[in-house]
Amino acid sequence: MDAQRTPLVVANWKMHKTIPEALRFLDAFLPALEGLGAQGAPGVGRVVEVAIAPPFTALQAVGARLRSATASIGLAAQNVHPEPQGAYTGEVSPVMLSDLGCRYVIVGHSERRRHFGEDDAFINKKLLAALRHGLGPILCVGETLEERRAGRTQGVLERQLRGALAGCPPEGAERLVIAYEPVWAIGTGVAASPDDAQEGARFVRELLRELYGEAVAGRVRVQYGGSVQPGNAYELMVRPDVDGALVGGASLDPEQFAQIVAEAAKAVQAKG
Ligand code: PGA
């Protein structure tokens, strides 16, 4: 079952990089990716799927460059509004993202929950809207340190998942990617242990099984996110329920991000 899921490694650039900076990243990243393949990291770009989530302002430029690249790299947005259009000053709709050629959109990131007050009901609307307009939602879930210490990790994950997935049919669910991102590991330099990452991803899959059955649960990719770096990526992604990574800080550097993709390819091989 594990071998059937192609891991997905996503660069989440957050509020970083102007258009020239984004293009300079690609000038270095695309050859680095090809170079890794040539150096015997087999399957880079084939057995691992890669996507880049630049800020909205760089989506078009990055999308155009990716379309002309040899490797198939997906374009992802970092946020979306639930409505297709309307009087929502400053927002970007799923129709606009599809129009730009986005394959994925991140929803429910902890930074949006915390800084912008997004709750499970609003995240649910975004997720359903993304699916309606042909985008693959990358749904982020994860507990805070306080919640973990209080033994509430599973309860929090269950609430976030049930809330975000309300009314989502099985045909939609199998197009989802879920990122287990413990809030205490994001941007701190302290990743979850491989055991904790596996346990979070396993729990996510167990809940998917309960909601949608074995076939759907076996197909959905569950990423780990939170301080993923070249040095810890393999141990995290080699775990059976961890299907790639959502990478923030380390994805800003082309060599580091290419190395993380290479580690994902090695993890695929090891999982057989
Ligand atoms: P980080 O961010 O890799 O910088 O911890 C991950 C994320 O927020 O998705």
- pLDDT higher than 70, residue 262: yes
For the segment 49-72, what is each residue's pLDDT rounded down to a tens digit? Answer: 999 999 999 999 999 999 988 778
Residue 179: what are its φ and ψ, rounded to 5°? -105, 115
Verify whether ligand 1 is closer than 6 Å to residue 22 (CB atom): no
- pLDDT higher than 60, residue 1: no
Distance 189 CA to ligand 1 centre (A): 9
Q: How confident is the model at residue 33, as a pLDDT? A: 86
Verify whether ligand 1 is closer than 6 Å to residue 182 (CB atom): no
- pLDDT higher than 60, residue 47: yes
- pLDDT higher than 90, residue 78: yes
Contact call for residues 126 and 137 (beta carbons, < 8 A): yes
pLDDT, average across residues 91-110: 98
Distance 113 CA to ligand 1 centre (A): 14
Would you name the residues annotated as active-site residues?
A: 109, 181
Verify whether ligand 1 is closer than 6 Å to residue 75 (CB atom): no
Verify whether ligand 1 is closer than 6 Å to residue 196 (CB atom): no
Ligand 1 atom nearest the C-alpha of 229 is 3
Q: Which of 181, 190, 229 to mutate to test the pocket of ligand 1 (most atoms within 8 A of CB)?
A: 181
Q: What is the DSSP string of 200-249?
A: HHHHHHHHHHHHH-HHHHHHSEEEEESS--HHHHHHHHTSTT--EEEESG
Name the pTM for this structure: 0.96
Q: How confident is the model at residue 247, as a pLDDT? A: 98
Q: What is the DSSP string of 171-191?
A: HHHTT-EEEE--GGGTTSS-P
Contact call for residues 247 and 227 (beta carbons, < 8 A): no
Verify whether ligand 1 is closer than 6 Å to residue 243 (CB atom): no
Q: How confident is the model at residue 34, as a pLDDT? A: 81
Residue nearest to atom 1 of ligand 1 (CA): 248
- The span from the CA of 232 to the CA of 226, in Å, is 11
Q: How confident is the model at residue 38, as a pLDDT? A: 57
Distance 177 CA to ligand 1 centre (A): 16
**What domains are there in the chain, each with its CATH number?**
8-271 (3.20.20.70)
Give the distance, in angstroms, between the CA of residue 263 and the centroid of all CA atoms in the same chain.
16
Residues facing residue 245 across a β-bridge: 9, 224
For the segment 195-242, what is each residue's pLDDT rounded down to a tens digit? Answer: 999 999 999 999 999 999 999 999 999 999 999 999 999 999 999 999
- The span from the CA of 225 to the CA of 247, in Å, is 6
- pLDDT higher than 60, residue 155: yes
> How does residue 40 score in pLDDT terms, banded at 50, 70 and 90?
low
Ligand 1 atom nearest the C-alpha of 189 is 5
- pLDDT higher than 90, residue 161: yes
- The span from the CA of 167 to the CA of 7, in Å, is 26
